[in-house]
Amino acid sequence: MIVLGSNSEVAQAFVEKLLKSGEKHSKIFLFTSNRETTEKFAKHLEVKYVQQSEIIDLDLLISIDYSSLEHINSNLLFCATGFLGMGTEEGLYDNRNTQNIIDVNYAKLVPVLNYFADKMERKRTGTMIVLSSVAGDRGRQSNFIYGSAKAGLTAYLSGLRNYLFDKKVHVLTIKPGFMATKMTEGFPLNPKLTATPKQAADGIYQAYKNKRNTAYVLPIWGFIMLIIRNIPEFIFKKLKL
């Protein structure tokens, strides 16, 4: 198994869910920009599940040496890489912030995903599970730079799914709504709309097992986004969302 963004609590919960349900992986490749924290997770997997793993440094803001990834092969990839950055109010005209959001969520991520898609295509098997965002469903004034990068990612995944379909590789797009993670700690999120990492992992696991194409972590988000997507633009532009 390949995990991109191994420090994400959702990614970690998903890996645990998978191992708990008895799926065996000879090795888990943990890609991370924070080796220290990921080492803790690797030890945890070793103690709790007698699971071997390998840590691979990946910082999407620095150039990637693909030659070091040659030995990595797996028929399951989970990608939770993401960067929220500053929202519109603080960060819109901060070009560095904008660049980082675009790079981590789309521009520099897509080549990495392509690299592994290519490997799966050649082996004609595999599943890629990638976390996009409800923010990509429609640009809203509060965080549309992030939203637009995620929209790009969602469109990429849709195309990739289409392209890989007859090559026996499945692509699953996950759109988490609010999640109670380090990223959102302290924000006043409505508990009914907020998933814990464990809930998210359970939902993603179900979607994976059912070979879904796209899935919201909590089903209610499907409904919310249906409404948001369908508000006419002349009304939408006046809303403070």
Partner 1 sequence: MKPNFKREVSNWGNFPVVEKEIRSEDSLAKIQEFVRTNHEIIARGNGRCYGDASLAENIFSTKRLNKFISFDRLNGIIECESGVLLSDVLEVIIPQGYFLFVTPGTKFITVGGAIASDVHGKNHHMEGCFSEYVLEFSLLNENSEVLICSPTQNSEKFWATIGGMGLSGIILSAKFKLKNIETSYIRQESIKAENLDEIFQLFDESETWTYNVAWIDCLQKGENLGRSILMRGEHAFKHQLPKNLQNNPLNMEKKISPTVPFYFPGFVLNNLAVKLFNFFYFKKQTKKVVKNIVHYETFFYPLDIVNHWNRIYGKKGFIQYQMVLPKSNGKEGMKKILETIAESGNGSFLAVLKLFGKHNEAAYNSFPFEGYTLALDFKINSKLKKLVESLDQIVEQYGGRIYLTKDSMSKPSLVNYLKNVNNSKFVSLQSKRIHNG
State the nearest-atom distance from the C-beta of 128 to partner 1, in Å: 27
State the nearest-atom distance from the C-beta of 182 to partner 1, in Å: 7
Q: Which is nearer to partner 1, 9 or 137 (CB)?
A: 9
Q: Which is nearer to partner 1, 50 or 235 (CB)?
A: 50
Q: Which is nearer to partner 1, 7 or 74 (CB)?
A: 7
Q: Which is nearer to partner 1, 41 or 216 (CB)?
A: 41
75-106: b (≥16 Cβ within 10 Å) or e: bbbbbbbbbebbeeeebeeeeebbebbbebbb
Q: Which two tokens stand for residue 53?
A: 């793993």
State the nearest-atom distance from the C-beta of 154 to partner 1, in Å: 23
State the nearest-atom distance from the C-beta of 19 to partner 1, in Å: 12
State the nearest-atom distance from the C-beta of 18 to partner 1, in Å: 16
State the nearest-atom distance from the C-beta of 224 to partner 1, in Å: 18
Q: Which is nearer to partner 1, 75 or 196 (CB)?
A: 196
Three-class SS string for 71-116?
CCCCCEEEECCCCCCCCHHHHCCCHHHHHHHHHHHHHCHHHHHHHH
Q: Which is nearer to partner 1, 12 or 132 (CB)?
A: 12
By three-state DSSP, how is residue 126 classified? strand
Site for partner 1, rule CB under 8 A? 9, 36-37, 40-41, 43-44, 47-48, 87, 182, 185-188
Distance spanning both ends of the chain, measured CA to CA: 38
Q: Using CA atoms, how far apart are residues 204 and 208, in angstroms rounded to an integer?
A: 6
Longest dimension (CA), the chain: 56
By three-state DSSP, how is residue 178 classified? strand
